[in-house]
């Protein structure tokens, strides 16, 4: 099978369906980061509330916590290509709806909140649907390189998305920005329609709820997986939430305009792109856990540094290093879950991973309250330090290698 031939980046890129799945991920990620930047800037401009800015990202996370495990089970019961097309269609319709409301002068903050929640449902399905398809078309032995390339694309989008969003928002306004998102989702649909891969749909005798319970039991029973999920929880409680403060700190502390904030927000994407590109040829199974935990520590520490800086250029350099840590974490997260779980349980394990990511909503609530009390810069510093402390306190779980 061509999915098992070749090694390294060239090997996986030689699989046509892998390239198509990669393109879908790139287009969706550009649209996602563009949306998040635009929504963050607009909500801050309309409300001057750091809490509400954080809540927009929280609403994207909430469905992961609520529905992540369910979607992991459900993904095994449907054709993944069809599920992917449905996900892209929903996102495209929402983006076009926001564009129409903005062009008509009727867009309100609650519209953005509803759109963020819907986008979160689709995002929660990405691991058990699209990421699962990556492993299916390239094989488990090349999953790390496949995910590393996916992270390269995702982080290239973190440069392109915020830069496009900030520039388009400053030059043309909200309507064209969301219209561009709709166009990106349409291109992703065209790429997904060309997929030839069809997943195996197995009938299930047990109820969905029973399968969900078994999914969480899997995490406790499988050696090494609990530590992976603990680090995921730490990242999503104490690391990722602080990224929502970039528009606030950029405008309030660094005195940047919308286009400057867009460029600043793209710096961690540039760092992540560089970090992920280095991982593709260098990553080895023996290094997976060290890369995973080290990336989380770098993300937390450098975000605390970013929040303490009052000059744009050093702040951008700090975000560049944040991005390197983000790439290390993101490339290893799905890889460790996919390679640790039994083959027949991979989709469910990825669903549990989405649920753990979704629990990051607690981190956004914590950040929102802290930002309201202490201000965005100080709150970001405190929460980054909390993340480093959490990693140190849980060392006994994440440092333990999987048993044979």
Tell me, yes or no, whether 6 lies in a domain.
no
Query: Is residue 339 included in any domain, yes or no?
Result: yes
Q: Is the pLDDT of residue 151 over 90?
A: no
pLDDT at 9: 54
Pick from 241, 245, 217, 266: which is nearest to 357 by CA? 241
- 131 assigned to some structural domain: yes
| 3-class DSSP assignment, residue 182 | helix
Residue 7: inside a domain = no
Q: What is the DSSP track for 337-358?
A: HHHHS-GGGHHHHHHHHHHHHH
Residue 54, domain member (yes or no): yes
Torsion-angle region of 105 (φ positive above 0: left; ψ -120 to 50: alpha; else: beta): left
Confidence category of residue 102, pLDDT binned at 50, 70, 90: confident
Total structural domains within the chain: 1
Answer yes or no: is 37 within a domain.
yes
Is 281 among the domain residues? yes
Residue 203: predicted pLDDT: 63
In a domain, 379, yes or no: yes
Query: What's the whole-model pTM score?
Result: 0.74
- pLDDT given at position 3: 35
Statement: residue 205 has pLDDT above 60: no
Residue 245 sits in a domain whose CATH number is 1.20.1250.20
Among 196-200, 207-211, 236-240, where is mean pLDDT lowest? 207-211
Could you tell me the residue range of the domain that residue 149 belongs to? Answer: 13-196+207-398
Average confidence score pLDDT of the chain: 83
For residue range 17-68, what is the model confidence (pLDDT) as tens digits? 999 999 999 999 999 988 888 888 788 878 888 778 878 877 887 888 788 8
Region label for 107, one of left (φ > 0), alpha (ψ between -120 and 50) or beta (otherwise): beta
């Amino acid at each position: 099978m061509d999915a098992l031939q070749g090694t390294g980046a060239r090997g996986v890129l030689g699989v046509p369906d892998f390239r198509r799945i990669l393109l879908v991920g790139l287009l969706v990620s550009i649209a996602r980061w563009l949306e998040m930047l635009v929504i963050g800037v607009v909500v801050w401009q309309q409300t001057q509330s750091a809490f509400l800015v954080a809540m927009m990202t929280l609403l994207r996370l909430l469905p992961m916590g609520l529905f992540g495990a369910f979607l992991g089970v459900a993904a095994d019961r449907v054709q993944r290509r069809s599920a992917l097309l449905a996900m892209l269609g929903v996102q495209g319709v929402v983006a076009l709806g926001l564009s129409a409301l903005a062009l008509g002068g009727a867009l309100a903050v609650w519209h953005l909140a509803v759109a963020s929640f819907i986008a979160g449902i689709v995002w929660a399905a990405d691991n058990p649907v699209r990421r699962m398809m990556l492993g299916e078309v390239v094989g488990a032995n090349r999953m790390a390189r496949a995910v590393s390339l996916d992270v390269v694309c995702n982080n290239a989008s973190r440069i392109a998305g915020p830069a496009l969003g900030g520039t388009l928002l400053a030059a043309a306004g909200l309507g064209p920005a969301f219209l561009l998102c709709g166009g990106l989702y349409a291109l992703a649909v065209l790429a997904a329609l060309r997929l030839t891969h069809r997943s195996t749909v197995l009938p299930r005798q047990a109820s969905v709820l029973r399968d969900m319970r078994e999914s969480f039991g899997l995490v406790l029973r499988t050696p090494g997986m609990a530590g992976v999920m603990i680090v995921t929880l730490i990242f999503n409680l104490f690391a990722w939430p602080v990224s929502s403060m970039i528009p606030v700190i950029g405008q309030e502390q660094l005195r940047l305009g919308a286009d400057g904030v867009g460029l600043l927000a793209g710096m961690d994407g540039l760092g992540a792109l560089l970090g992920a590109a280095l991982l593709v040829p260098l990553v080895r199974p023996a290094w997976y856990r060290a890369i995973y935990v080290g990336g989380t520590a770098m993300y937390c520490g450098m975000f605390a540094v970013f929040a303490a800086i009052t000059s744009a250029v050093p702040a951008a350099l700090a975000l560049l290093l944040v991005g390197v840590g983000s790439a290390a974490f993101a490339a290893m997260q799905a890889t460790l879950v996919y390679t640790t779980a039994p083959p027949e349980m991979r989709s469910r394990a990825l669903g549990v991973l989405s649920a753990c990511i979704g629990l990051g909503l607690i981190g956004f609530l914590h950040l929102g309250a802290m930002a309201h009390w202490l201000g965005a810069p100080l709150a970001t510093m405190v929460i980054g330090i909390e993340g480093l402390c959490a990693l140190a306190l849980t060392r006994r779980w994440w440092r333990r290698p999987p048993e044979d």
